Amino acid sequence: MASDSDDSVYSGLEDEPDTESELESSSDEEETTLSDLAEESDASDEEDMRNTVGNVPLEWYKDQKHVGYTLDGKKILKSASNMDEIDAFLDRMDNPDFGRTVTDPQTGQSRVLTDDEVAMIERMTQGLYPHEDFDPHAPYVDFFTNEVEPHPLQDMPDPKRRFVPSKWEHKRVMKMVRAIRNGWIKPPSEKEAEKTRYHDIWATSDSNLATRRNPLLMAAPKMKLPGHAESYNAPPEYLPTAEEIQKWKDTDVEDRKQNFLPQEFSNLRSVPAYRNFITERFDRCLDLYLCPRQRKSRLNVDPEDLIPKLPKPRDLQPFPTTEAVVYNGHSSIVRSVSFEPSGQWFASGGEDCTVRLWETATGRCVRCLKLDKPVVSVAWCPNPAVNLVLVASGKDVLVLNPGLVSKSTCSATDAQIRSFDASSTANDQLVTWQESTAEDSMDESVRLVLQHHKTIDQVTWHGKGDYFASLSKDQNNPSKSVFLHQLSKRRTQCTFGTVKGLPQCCLFHPTMPFFFLATQRSIRVYNLQKNELKKKLTPGAKWISSLAVHPQGDNVICGSYDLKLSWFDMDLSTEPYKTLRHHRQAIRQVAFHKRYPLFASASDDGSVIVCHGTVYSDLLKNPLIVPVKVLKGHGIVDGRSVFDCQFHPSQPWILSAGADNSIRLFS
């Protein structure tokens, strides 16, 4: 039947008319309804199968007037339902079997379901098995027991294939053997086996080469997310005023902070299309195409590890913090100050051509010496057994005995000066030594006058008090600008041959026979015993202004007019160990404290910065440098402020001299 029905289907499809007009013009004799077909059907095995189209989906005929064809090739028309909605309603009210009546889609006939079928449908809707007799949880029947029976349940002998070699495996093995014989498959050599077994883990792998040739794809950076100003209902504080709108229009496109004006709309439907959308997307595509990108490996470094852990300033006390005494008396710029070895007195000199002696504690000026020319430098002898003060004024260097210490010290100093034998002095002296007498002396405290051929800008003492040096910043002959004087023999010598650069300042080493000479861009260290250059320090500054040596002698600091303060560790390197840039103007003077680990720098910005500098005896440990205090008090006059600063010999105090005609003590 199935084959006949299939043939009828194909034959019917071939005879099917192409258009609906042909379908309507077909004779009524060839058309057969489903009811007529049901009456003519005989009692066969498939008498319920009224439609002979086979198991063809009826959706194929949903747009047609028929549902298939008979064995004779006649169309089977769809059953016409003449029941309208009113008839369907009356049938539902009157017919007790309306709720269980269904329509067969193949035959078009109505069928009343039995009680068993209704119960089956209800069980299926509840998620149960359709048949009530089926029990999914039936008790388990143990067919096999744990006892070993003498006879098996299935007495079937093993098949023959379990004892015969596989034919297909034999063919596959022979195929591989044939390939090896023909050379199609080559076994790995011994060298390749060794390479596979042993390899260099540090060698560049093929994957790295491939990565280097074809770098990884780098994702484009994401666009910036819109803010409140780009909202269609922006907050009032983001909405521009009329002046801001006009200012935005007058500004160039490149200088605008944003390329749009915030607007406010009542709802989202009122928002128009953004006119610059395509332009902005095109510009972004150009940026992604033209701008290169680079993949950088980010290091997870703790910022606290990069910043050195310095102690707090309050843990480094004592150091000067407040202004204690102001010394007024000079009528012009105070150029230099110098403490007496005990710290009870100090001397000052200024451009008012006076040298003043002060009492440190009370601020009283005990003596004033008037000279003919401005005083640029004063230096009190560091040896407490000798009471002398050097004063540089013009081309003369004056040696004073202020007479402020004990009478025995002053008398011993005068006796040492008077004991000199003039006949032992050579006549070809570079400097003229003259003893001051009562007739030609400007003050009774002047003992000696050294007349130079150049203007002297600095004087400094040796630690033992017998030698001192004078320096002139003469540009005509820099080689003869530094003079070394011996007080006991009244002898002057210029041991330095050719000095490259303009001398700026000089100092004696506190413990070794070394002499420091700072030129404009370098610091030269000379060995006075061997009369040779020992070392040259290069701070990298454009113009050195001042110099100071640590009491232990292994560290040096220098200030410069280009705002740099350089710390040198001479045992470490000739380059600066550390460079500080704390000042905003030129640095005029630097100084070390003789007892405390302190050093200071004076600048034209009106401040004196005090720093803590600990030098360790362990050579492997670097010096500890910590700024602790900024002292302010001097005024700025014509761009100049603090000219000199000196630490107290025994107390954590500092004395500063400024362009405002005052001297200030900070304690």
CA dihedral in degrees (215, 217, 218, 224; nearest 10)? 170
Name the average pLDDT for the chain. 82
Task: Give residues with Cβ within 8 angstroms of 192, minimum separation 6.
Answer: none
pLDDT category at 186 given cuts 50, 70, 90 is confident
pLDDT of residue 201: 63
Chain-centroid distance of CA 52 in Å reads 85
Cβ atoms of residues 212 and 203 within 8 Å: no
Q: What confidence tens digit (pLDDT) does each residue in 211-270 have?
A: 555 556 677 788 888 888 889 888 989 999 999 999 999 998 888 888 888 988 988 898
CA geometry: angle 13, 18, 23, nearest 5 deg: 90
Choice between 115 and 18, residue whose per-residue pLDDT is larger: 115
Burial of 92 (0-12, 13-18, 19+ CB in 10 A): exposed
pLDDT of residue 7: 39
pLDDT of residue 173: 94
Q: What confidence tens digit (pLDDT) does each residue in 523-556 have?
A: 999 998 888 889 999 998 999 999 999 999 899 9
Chain-centroid distance of CA 653 in Å reads 41
In our burial notation (b when 16+ CB lie closer than 10 A, e otherwise), range 72-83 reads eebbbbbeeeee
pLDDT of 133 over the 80 cut: yes
SS3 state of residue 213: helix
In order of start, what are the domains of the chain with their CATH numbers?
2-80 (no CATH), 95-136 (no CATH), 314-666 (2.130.10.10)
What's phi and psi for 369, nearest 5 deg?
Answer: -110, 120
pLDDT category at 650 given cuts 50, 70, 90 is very high
Cβ atoms of residues 660 and 635 within 8 Å: yes
Q: What confidence tens digit (pLDDT) does each residue in 582-597 have?
A: 999 999 999 999 999 9
Range in 167-176, 201-210, 645-654 the model is least confident about = 201-210
DSSP designation for 165: -
Nearest to 550 by CA among 608, 513, 597: 597
pLDDT of 97 over the 90 cut: no
Q: pTM above 0.85?
A: no
Q: What confidence tens digit (pLDDT) does each residue in 208-223 have?
A: 555 555 556 677 788 8
pLDDT of residue 12: 38
pLDDT of residue 65: 81
Chain-centroid distance of CA 244 in Å reads 37
Tell me the average pLDDT across 636-643: 92
pLDDT of residue 43: 39
pLDDT of 630 over the 50 cut: yes
Task: Give residues with Cβ within 8 angstroms of 416, minimum separation 6.
Answer: 386, 488
CA distance 369 to 13: 140
Per DSSP, the residues of 449-507 read EEE-SS---EEEE-TTSSEEEEE---SS-GGG-EEEEETTTTEEE-------S---EEE
Burial of 224 (0-12, 13-18, 19+ CB in 10 A): exposed
Per DSSP, the residues of 370-433 read E-SS-EEEEEE-S-TT---EEEEETTEEEEE----S-HHHHHHHHHHHHT--GGGS-S--SSEE
pLDDT of residue 49: 46
pLDDT category at 197 given cuts 50, 70, 90 is low
* Amino acid at site 472: S
Element (H, E) at 318: none
